[in-house]
Structure 1
């Protein structure tokens, strides 16, 4: 049994009691935390440790949890720069038709590396475009996550409502419903690990009300619940989506999902920007989660999600970077600050605190993914997913509150990142891949795909 001791750091545990220590210690045995507390570690732990990390001047937090992403979009950053969501999708669907396993591999490795360097230890990915020529794209992404070293919750997305049927996506990027359900079942069989400490878990994720039929929504929910996996989709992101649902279904987006049996503790929904007070209450009453994506929502002019109202209602609200084509940075620590700034811009300076925002990025995100028992907090028995942030540099000088410094100070790469006790980032540098090689691969594949797309 290998032991790692981390000492001398400030600690924000985000545990049940929200304990914090000005100077404390963490002890890791194999993949889990066995001690967390103030002061130095017990000598019995220190004496048998294979590594003792002096973390003076640093803040330890749980590893961050990313609740919504589209990794393949790392290959199409910078497109449709002034577009709304629907305009942006219409511009990009013809490009995305040309993704293949090489594009997705390069994009996934680059995107996951960026997430790791921003303190993220667990991420989802919502992949919903599967060209027939493209290869096994879900396997490609899982391999990329394994190589970078992060915990991965890929969502098998799908679209079956093409433009000829009144949907938004072109007909040649949608799939047959029976084929989708078969692929979802296969993804669960091949990849889903329900055991404690799992590195890979599958969720099922029909893409959105404007790209999926009600029949697929219902049948996917039935399949997921029969197999014990979670459900995810986009919802209430824009005014355009609201108009689409009112015109096609006669109800607002959340009511549409409620009618289909899509609210519950096994569901988390991306965005939820356009919810009224009653809808926020319904989210809380059903325990339905939200992936709040403030930077993407701002980039596309979608609006600001009512996060304080959702939290008051009792809904778990995690953070997401969303697709890198609508958030060209794609780093999760940035979303802590974005959530704070936009939340306060919408509802005043007391709407969210720095600690609220850290909880969104950790504890709430773990709850959205059904992992709150072992992720999102630094507690004895939790998985050893730990982020160390260097607050000794000049950009943080004079800010006495370390959590406030992390949330409002200048964003920097995480100093050290451990996933299940394994070092992924050290001294601010990724240890599992060469960033220059990742960048060169992504640049090459992005250019190749752009050349194949219609002009």
Structure 2
């Protein structure tokens, strides 16, 4: 390294997981101007403004959350809904969510992002599809900016209310023209396609049973015109399958195909019930999928077969999903659950901790269309990284493989979380001092909304 390079942050004496097939057992990593500048074996590290000694600890790229509903932490573990099917769960909670307003969305987004940071996540999307008030996504982006979190906001939407044969009440759906006009506004105001961006925007009609075919088609056309990504729930539930057969005369995957979504700018959440031929078709088309193991297991609706999908060439990421179904926002816990579920489903040789780490980093980054810069720590990547910690008792005896120990032992937590070269979690604590006040605001809105049912 040139002696004239000014290093902002240096991680030393770490077990470095740089990317799939690239690891250093005892190494350093240098950050310059928010990017990974260099890395190498211990003994040749440069000087730096700040050094973090990570001796005995694993350092990985920041985890990437490819599917979430952040506002739902306002109704975590809501008793009347916890034992319902997907459709029962939704219809119970929609009336509460219809009371959302910008301050509540700001607080819930901040809480979600803070929780994700403490769980080693440095980038997340959010699927905000309930819009009883205007400019809710603006409030989310303000929260992300306040924290310094890397964020892909998706302009979700619903047009089919109970009046039109859908599930949600009229109060949370919008007409097509309003949705498309706001989609354009958000893209033009906030979407940053430049390298190193902290904020991007995608389009995300909610699901086959909550939007019209016309909105699906026009959203795909708008995404093409603005070169942004597309997201939706797909093949999540057998009730959805029956709905599509009755309403559209086709399966959910066939519906996706005929509306112009079967392409490389699309990633879908859940993808539990496609046929074998549908899996192969979407993989060949370049569609990515997100497994949400905790949420799907909590509702008892099955889960995507991540090993099978990866085996046929489909990029697969991980997502926490909504905080009212998963009831947590830890990507570490989601990763461990994915490991256990994969091995339970397909045998002990089918899934390793490295497979899951690849899903939670590279796989999720591919879903978001961001894997050129995030999900790995190669030279030039965004400096989004985590120094992991666990109680010494939990790691006692784990001497041979820090990556396997990361998920097999634990629970692990982020000791240090870095986004774009800035330390946002230090010593296991969030650096932003506003968290206590935001939690009070969050509690006020959660109580107000739940009392109105």
| Distance (whole Å) between structure 1 residues aligned to residue 43 and residue 86 of structure 2 | 51
| Distance (whole Å) between structure 1 residues aligned to residue 296 and residue 43 of structure 2 | 43
| Distance (whole Å) between structure 2 residues aligned to residue 82 and residue 227 of structure 1 | 41
Partner of 1:11: 16
Moved more, 317-326 or 345-354: 345-354
Partner of 1:381: 380
Does structure 1 residue 21 correspond to structure 2 residue 24? Answer: yes
Give per-residue Cα distances to partners, 1:343-373, cap 9 Å, x unaligned.
Answer: 1112111221110000010011111111111
Partner of 1:32: 35
**Cα distance, 1:392 vs. partner?**
6.7
**Preserved CA contact (<8 Å) 1:12 1:59:** yes
User: Structure 1 residues 240, 303: CA separation in 2 closer, same or farther (over 3 Å shift)?
Assistant: same
**Preserved CA contact (<8 Å) 2:76 2:327:** yes
SS of match in other structure, 1:246: helix
**Cα distance, 1:310 vs. partner?**
0.7
**Cα distance, 1:171 vs. partner?**
2.1
Structure 1 segments, 4+ long, off by >4 Å, are none
Partner of 2:109: 108
Alignment of 1:434-449 (within 5 A): 434-449=434-449
**Preserved CA contact (<8 Å) 2:159 2:174:** yes
Does structure 1 residue 175 correspond to structure 2 residue 174? Answer: yes
Alignment of 1:241-390 (within 5 A): 241-390=240-389
SS of match in other structure, 1:156: strand
User: Structure 1 residues 184, 315: CA separation in 2 closer, same or farther (over 3 Å shift)?
Assistant: same
Partner of 2:189: 190
**Preserved CA contact (<8 Å) 1:57 1:391:** no
**Preserved CA contact (<8 Å) 2:7 2:30:** no
Moved more, 389-398 or 402-411: 389-398
Give per-residue Cα distances to partners, 1:14-37, cap 9 Å, x unaligned.
Answer: 24xx11111111011011011122
Unaligned runs of 5+ in 2: 1-5
User: Structure 1 residues 287, 433: CA separation in 2 closer, same or farther (over 3 Å shift)?
Assistant: farther
| Distance (whole Å) between structure 2 residues aligned to residue 281 and residue 199 of structure 1 | 33
User: Structure 1 residues 364, 302: CA separation in 2 closer, same or farther (over 3 Å shift)?
Assistant: same
| Distance (whole Å) between structure 2 residues aligned to residue 152 and residue 236 of structure 1 | 26
Alignment of 1:135-154 (within 5 A): 135-154=134-153
Give per-residue Cα distances to partners, 1:94-151, cap 9 Å, x unaligned.
Answer: 11110101211111111110000000100000101111xx342111100111112210
| Distance (whole Å) between structure 1 residues aligned to residue 44 and residue 326 of structure 2 | 41
| Distance (whole Å) between structure 1 residues aligned to residue 43 and residue 250 of structure 2 | 58
Unaligned runs of 5+ in 1: none
| Distance (whole Å) between structure 2 residues aligned to residue 148 and residue 405 of structure 1 | 30
Give per-residue Cα distances to partners, 1:279-304, cap 9 Å, x unaligned.
Answer: 22122211111111100001111102
**Cα distance, 1:248 vs. partner?**
1.3
Over aligned residues, Cα RMSD in angstroms?
1.3
- TM-score normalised to structure 1 length: 0.95
Moved more, 140-149 or 186-195: 140-149
Give per-residue Cα distances to partners, 1:38-81, cap 9 Å, x unaligned.
Answer: 22343xx31xx111211101101000000011111110111211
Give per-residue Cα distances to partners, 1:356-413, cap 9 Å, x unaligned.
Answer: 0000100111111111111101101111001111257221121221111112222232
| Distance (whole Å) between structure 2 residues aligned to residue 300 and residue 407 of structure 1 | 24
- TM-score normalised to structure 2 length: 0.96
| Distance (whole Å) between structure 2 residues aligned to residue 321 and residue 407 of structure 1 | 16
Give per-residue Cα distances to partners, 1:152-189, cap 9 Å, x unaligned.
Answer: 00100000111122111122221011111001001101
User: Structure 1 residues 153, 161: CA separation in 2 closer, same or farther (over 3 Å shift)?
Assistant: same
Alignment of 1:80-91 (within 5 A): 80-91=81-92
**Preserved CA contact (<8 Å) 1:58 1:392:** no
Aligned residue-pair number: 445
